[in-house]
Chain A
Amino acid sequence: MTAVAAKPAAGAAMNPTAMGVGVILVLILLGICWFVSPAVGLMALIGIIIGGVLIGFGVHFVPVGGAPAAMGQAPGIATGVAMLAAGGGLAGLFGGAWAAASGQDPIVVIITGGVGGGLMMAITCMMVNFVYVFGMGIPAASGKVARDPITGDSQAEYKSQGTEGHGLPFVSFVGGVTGGIFAGAGGTLIYLELLNLYEGALPTLMQLKPEQVVPIAVSMAGMFAVGMFLVNAVLTAYNITGTIEGPHDPKFKRWPRAIVASAVASALCGLAAILIVLPLGPF
């Protein structure tokens, strides 16, 4: 079948076979991890998969308009999906890592990461509307819904001629903050799991005192968390294909695909991150 003959992809269409293959791949990777390290490694990998899924799900909420938004031709924030989510999520990871270093409870650390991501997105989204309204004299209007699902404000008459809308309607603002919270919490969870694993495994592996390995463990866990963050954010950007307005956009319904894909990618990356510190006994 050629590209011309192919049917246009329906936004929310799911491919059950691909989803099934994805789930089987996750189980295989979990099985490998269980075989190598049944206790510590498997728990860490499960945490990493949950973190990756949170990032993948969260990125769908972030209203991204890409290049058309930069000309006021489409609603959303004028930058790339993966990039904006990474900015918000990494700001969350920064806060989460700090809370982890001061010895807070893991739940507090993860929530701190989430709130950090949400705060970054709240400030950014507010400033986007500030520039649209006070810098360019353009009110916010959605191109995908007739009324804002949260405030009930009508949208169509505030769309300027020849555009699909502009700025960030309130539902998009809320979506941006929600996305930042999920992404920040997910990134922090991955960091925390890897940090605990490395702090436990590195002293034996490198024959150093536990306090000596802390800088190495923090650096390694931080790098892997940033890397896995970008993997999941870019993967989701492919699922969104370009731009999305937020949770009210029809493209938002595609999230189950991204969840499976994020789980597979996180499992594979997480396995690599775990295997580098585990002595492979049988081999």
Chain B
Amino acid sequence: MEQIVFGIGITALTGALATVAGAAEDTESNIGSQGDPNSQVQLAPQMGFLHRIFNKAVAGEPPAYGLWCCLGAGLAWAFMAMQFNAVLAIVLGSVLAVFVQGVYATTAYLGRTASLSKFGQPVYVDILKSMTTVTMAHAFIAIFATVSLCQLINGALGHPFPLPLLGLVWGIALGAAGSATGNPYYGKERQYQNQKFGAGVPISASGNIVRYAEAGERNSIDNGWFTAKIGGSASGICFGLIVFLELWRTILFDQVGAGWGSIAIGILLILIFTVVDRYIEVWARKNYGPYTEAKEASS
């Protein structure tokens, strides 16, 4: 019984860490402009819209976070093997991984922006100086929280995978959840704030991203501030739910019915999310209504 209560406590803690990691990951990727919406940041100067948005699509978010979390976890594991305290080891591992992220961010911004020089896009050194540290700070939170939850899964809950492999697996899952949930909010809602609310961006408007803020030109810290409110928190809830429910069903129901218990609970959870998704879809159709008459749309 004590073992189960201990397991549930650790599960709750990992869920909370995952929520923080998801929110920080999405905000980092929006400030750094990583992932699919960065296609518009890269496209804008080619369409004649010069801007002061950071531009660092190092890779897709999942492999990028797979690398950084695996690196952080691997280094933390090495420090722990050198008899370092676990908390100190995770902090040091995450700091070193963040330096790699910073190097990638710097070279990506310089390389990508320099490739746009023929369209007149300047490399802003002040942007490089002020944004890179902010993305690194958010990346540190995301990597630290992910490596910590991996350490809890490995050390306290007894998962067989070694820490670096868990870092890779959950880093990729973190990037997948964060980019899937957070990208549309940054890509459509923030970059195309000048387009109609409640509709997708017409393909003809591609590249015409919003470049001006309340005062002066918009930069990526403004984007991080905006997207942290919904995109970031939704990404956090998404990754938090994934980690929490995956651990919860295993800890509580793995020994029920020789493993079939956790399978049954997993299927039940999938069905619940299916019903919730269908409710959201129908709610939107009823409350927002169609854009055009059915006849007109089909003709």
> What is A's interface to B at a CB cutoff of 8 Å?
66-73, 77-80, 83-84, 86-88, 90-91, 93-95, 97-102, 104-105, 108-109, 111-112, 115-116, 118-120, 122-140, 146, 151, 153-154, 156-170, 173-174, 177, 214-215, 218-219, 222-223, 226
Query: Interface size class for chain B?
Result: 35 or more
CB distance from A224 to the nearest CB of B (A): 11
- Establish whether residues A139 and B285, one from each chain, have CB atoms under 8 Å apart when the complex forms: yes
Give CA–CA (A242, B280) in the complex, Å: 27
Residues on B with beta carbons closer than 8 Å to the beta carbon of A223? 165
**Is B284's CB within 8 Å of the partner chain A?**
yes
Q: Which residues of A contact B284 (CB under 8 A)?
A: 129, 132-133, 138-140, 167
Contacts of A156 in B (CB 8 A): 294, 297-298
Nearest CB of chain B from residue A53's CB, rounded to whole Å: 22
> Which A residues lie within 8 Å of B121 (CB)?
none
Residues of B within 8 A of A132 (CB): 184, 284
Residues of B within 8 A of A111 (CB): 263
- Known: A79-B179, A79-B183, A140-B284. Is A97-B198 also a contact (CB below 8 A)? no
Tell me, in angstroms, the Cα distance from A139 to B187 when the chains sit together.
Answer: 17
Partner of A135, one of B230, B255, B298: B230
For B185, the chain A residues whose CB sits under 8 A away are 131, 135-136
What secondary structure prevails in chain A residues at the interface with B? helix
Task: Report the nearest A residue to B286, measured CB to CB.
Answer: A139
* Minimal beta-carbon separation of A136 from chain B (angstroms): 5
* C-alpha spacing A97/B250, complex, angstroms: 11
A87 CB contacts on chain B under 8 angstroms: 62, 172-173, 175-177, 180
**Which applies to chain B's interface (DSSP): helix, strand, loop or mixed?**
helix
Contact across chains for B37 and A124 when beta carbons are under 8 A apart: no
A11 to B176: give the CA distance in the assembly, Å.
27
Set of chain A residues within 8 Å of B183, measured between Cβ atoms: 69-70, 78-79
- From B62, B160, B274, contact of A98 by CB (8 A): B160
**Segment of B101-109, B123-131, B265-273 in the binding face:** B265-273
Within 8 A of A (CB), among B201-221: 201-206
A-B contact pairs, 5 of them (CB 8 A): A71-B200, A98-B160, A104-B254, A108-B260, A128-B180
Q: Contacts of B291 on A, CB cut-off 8 Å?
A: 157-161
Cβ–Cβ contact A99 & B159, under 8 A: no
B245 & A78 in contact (Cβ 8 Å cutoff): no
Contact A177 B169 (CB under 8 A): no
Is B222 an interface residue, CB under 8 A from the partner?
no
Contact present for B269 and A78 (CB under 8 Å): no
In the complex, residue of chain B having the shortest beta-carbon distance to the beta carbon of A154: B294
Q: Shortest beta-carbon distance, B276 to chain A, in Å?
A: 6
Q: Are B246 and A95 in contact (CB under 8 A)?
A: yes
